[in-house]
Amino acid sequence: SADFSKLAPLCKPRVSFEFFPPKTPAAAEALENTASRLAAYGPGFMSVTYGAGGSTRDRSIRTAERLGQRTGVPVAGHLTCVGASRQDVDDVARAYWNAGVRHIVALRGDAPDMEAGFVPHPEGYRSAAELVRGLRDVAPFEIAVAAYPEVHPEALSAQADLDNLRRKLDAGATRAITQFFFTPEAFLRFRDRAVAAGITAEIVPGILPIGNVAQARKFAEMCGAHIPDWLLRQVTDLEDQPEVCSQVTTALAAMMCRELQRHGVESFHLYTLNRAEPGIALCRLLGLDTVG
């Protein structure tokens, strides 16, 4: 007979949830509701993204402060350095600190014109590694950085990208969170290469349950993540049934996470796109229950 015990959760993972800063008061209220529902699953932290060039500066700081107060969960503020002087970036970090934020996801950010490529601000940090070093003089933040299982599109080579990750960790970051990817192998191969290169910091897989296929294809193309054809075939004709699409992609994401758990992965960072349901379903499928 079939052995359904294989379907039982393996072990309780640690999770974190990423949000983007809402644009309107109604969206802000909806996000607080979403964050509260997800907070019930005991995340290690929640993070709020930051528009490259500072476009979301005040909203990111306010959202981080508000979510922290509302949920009691530690909040990480993302911070980018493209298009800003060191002074301006340091001021944002100080504002995060004054808003109770003790954890920064330190990023370079993308140039406004991707074709033209990244040009550092004349008085700015030239890379995420420089930002990490600079942040240490602002306040004793916990610092996370980005990692790319399928290699950052601007990297000279996979090895150069790994060297860059090591520089960011050597500069003071203690955790790497990956760009999203859609096969367990993409992450596991990257982790093997990182370990072989002597990287010991935790590398947390970034998980994106696809909500909108066209948008996910565009994001994936921009950041060099490969979406396998078999996965696309399962959802491409579901454009007019977003709920079904989300159920399918959340189940696929859970299967991938469970495969990663089988290979010793204990933490997952979820790109929520400000939606509660996929995150809740994923927590449940991975064996997490509401706490307290």
Active-site residue set: 18
Of 86 and 284, CB closest to ligand FAD: 86
Q: Does 75 participate in binding ligand FAD (rule CB under 6 A)?
A: no
Mutual orientation of helices 57-71 and 25-39 as an angle, nearest 10°?
A: 40
Residues in the chain: 292
- Cα separation values, 272 from 12, 56, 221, 234, 282, Å: 19, 18, 19, 21, 11
Nearer to ligand FAD, 41 or 271 (CB): 271
CA distances from 274 to 50, 64, 71 (A): 14, 13, 15
- CB nearer to ligand FAD: pick between 73 and 146: 146
| Rounded Cα gap, residues 176 and 168, in angstroms | 9
Round to whole Å and give the CA distance between 7 and 9.
6
Helices (H), the chain: 25-39, 57-71, 86-98, 128-135, 158-170, 184-196, 213-223, 229-235, 242-262, 277-285
Most distant pair of Cα atoms in the chain: their distance: 68
Instruction: Tell me the two tokens of residue 236.
Output: 């491409």
Shortest approach of ligand FAD to residue 126 CB, angstroms?
8
In the set 34, 127, 183, 272, which binds ligand FAD (CB under 6 A)?
127
Task: Check residue 155 for interaction with ligand FAD (CB under 6 A).
Answer: yes
By CB under 6 A, name the one of 65, 90, 150, 161 that touches ligand FAD: 161
User: Which of 52, 245 has the CB closer to ligand FAD?
Assistant: 52
Binding mask 80-99 for ligand FAD (x = CB under 6 A): x-------------------
| 227/245 with CB nearer ligand FAD | 227
Angle at 81 (CA atoms; ends 80, 83), nearest 5 degrees: 115
Residue that the structure tokens 């193309």 belong to: 221
Which residue of 57, 66, 108, 191 would you call a contact of ligand FAD, by CB under 6 A? 108
187 binds ligand FAD (CB under 6 A): no
208 or 213: CB nearest ligand FAD: 208
Site string (189-228) toward ligand FAD, x via CB under 6 A:
-----------------x----------------------
Binding of ligand FAD by 104 (CB under 6 A): no
| Residue 49 found at the interface with ligand FAD (CB under 6 A) | yes
State yes or no: residue 77 binds ligand FAD (CB under 6 A). Answer: no
Residue of 43, 33, 49 whose CA lies nearest to 74: 43
What is the full DSSP assignment across 4-42? GGGGS--SPPEEEEEE---SSHHHHHHHHHHHHHHHTT-
Stretch that binds ligand FAD, among 26-34, 66-74, 104-112, 211-219 (CB under 6 A): 104-112
Q: Which residues contact ligand FAD (rule: CB under 6 A)?
A: 49-50, 52, 78, 80, 105, 107-110, 127-128, 146, 152, 154-156, 160-161, 164, 168, 177, 179, 206
